[in-house]
Amino acid sequence: MIHIEDDFLSDFEFNRIQNQLVYTPDFMWQFCPVTENIGQDDDEQDAFQFVHGMYRNFAPCSQHFQHLESIIKKINPRALIKIKLNLTTRSESIIQGHYHNDLPFDHSVALFYLNTNNGYTLFDDGTKVESVANRIVFFDGSMKHLGTNCTDKQRRLVLNINYL
């Protein structure tokens, strides 16, 4: 089951998170090649994204993890597994990733959208979730899904939270 909530955080909390994660000049990104694109031209097989790991191996791995407190508190997980922030850049056409599961075991996923753009998350059942700032989508980790970039903004930003 897919559950979508708009205006997940108060405007104050959402703006605070955006300012601390998105508009901070010292925020470091890691380049990550994406090689499994579907239906793309050969030139676009070199698609990429940037990622910032926030939490893994049962511990925070970023100095910015503390800024996620309001999101985590509201989700109220039994346990966190992994949190990362994904950034894809604008291109002339939408580039879809491939359908995947984040982890190979039972878990839940929350995708929190940090900006509004024409990118989206697509599930293999056909459900399409548009990227809208301060929207969150919850789903079972066994559901295959894919993400895209965008064509109308400089970047698409999605916080990916895997939890129990």
Q: Indicate if the pLDDT at residue 67 is higher than 80.
A: yes
Q: What is the pLDDT of residue 45?
A: 54
How do residues 49-60 score in pLDDT, each as one tens digit? 999 999 998 899
- What does the domain layout of the chain look like in residue ranges? 3-20+49-163
How do residues 97-139 score in pLDDT, each as one tens digit? 999 999 999 999 999 999 999 999 999 999 999 999 999 999 9
Compute the mean pLDDT over every residue in the chain, rounded to the nearest whole number.
Answer: 91
Q: Does domain 3-20+49-163 have CATH number 1.10.260.40?
A: no
Q: What is the pLDDT of residue 42?
A: 46
* Alpha carbons 113 and 4: distance in angstroms, whole number: 11
How do residues 127-136 score in pLDDT, each as one tens digit? 999 999 999 9
Contacts of 104-108 with C-beta under 8 Å, sequence gap 24+, read 105/141, 106/141, 106/142, 107/81, 107/141, 107/162, 107/163, 107/164, 108/77, 108/138, 108/139, 108/140, 108/141, 108/162, 108/163, 108/164
Coil, helix or strand at residue 120: strand
How do residues 11-50 score in pLDDT, each as one tens digit? 999 999 999 888 777 788 999 887 454 444 444 456 789 9
* Alpha carbons 142 and 43: distance in angstroms, whole number: 31
Q: What is the pLDDT of residue 38?
A: 42
Q: Indicate if the pLDDT at residue 158 is higher than 80.
A: yes
Q: Are 122 and 67 in contact (CB under 8 A)?
A: no
Q: What is the pLDDT of residue 46?
A: 65
**Sheet strand arrangement including 128-130:** 128-130, 120-123, 145-147
The confidence band for 151, taking pLDDT boundaries of 50, 70 and 90, is: very high
